[in-house]
Structure 1
Amino acid sequence: MIRDALQVRGMPLAGSPLARLRVVGAITLALVRVQLLEAAPRALALEARGFRALPSRSLLEPPADSVVQARARWGFVALSVLILVAGVAGWA
């Protein structure tokens, strides 16, 4: 998309290696500019979802499991591995 836009503006995309190197610089500049413009809206969206810079709990810090929940989780992991092994070995 950026390459097409640069080509429409008259940037040569074929030719000598020097001309191609100039194109890489222009494409890089356009990408950096777009990312800088999109950084603020993305940061606001993440903050609205609970990913803040503050030390408050977010989705990255889930609540601690109880002993029963931890054992159940490891049991499901073991059961999943057993099902995969049975499927590969042809037992199922």
Structure 2
Amino acid sequence: MKKILENIIELIGWVQIMISPILISSFIGFIIYYNFQNTLGLVISLIVIAVGLYLGIRLANKKYKSTGTINFLSRIHSSPELDKKDNGNKK
């Protein structure tokens, strides 16, 4: 049961890592299609989105195999500035 929950949590982290490049490439693809509203613009924007999907999957798999997706996400979302103790000195 514990292994199943760990795998579900890792899968959620994997999806979160994969979504970032897809969102960025979708934004770029939207800009391309907005400027070139024809078949060529559509094809180029779909290629850009497909490259973002490919890079997102590669990045997520790399992090899953090396450190784990949750470990990677927790290091990204941490805030070391808040972890330091306040000495009471305000400048």
Q: TM-score, normalised by structure 1?
A: 0.36
Greater percentage in helix: 2
The structure whose Rg is larger is 1
More contact order relative to length (CA 8 Å, sep ≥ 6): 2
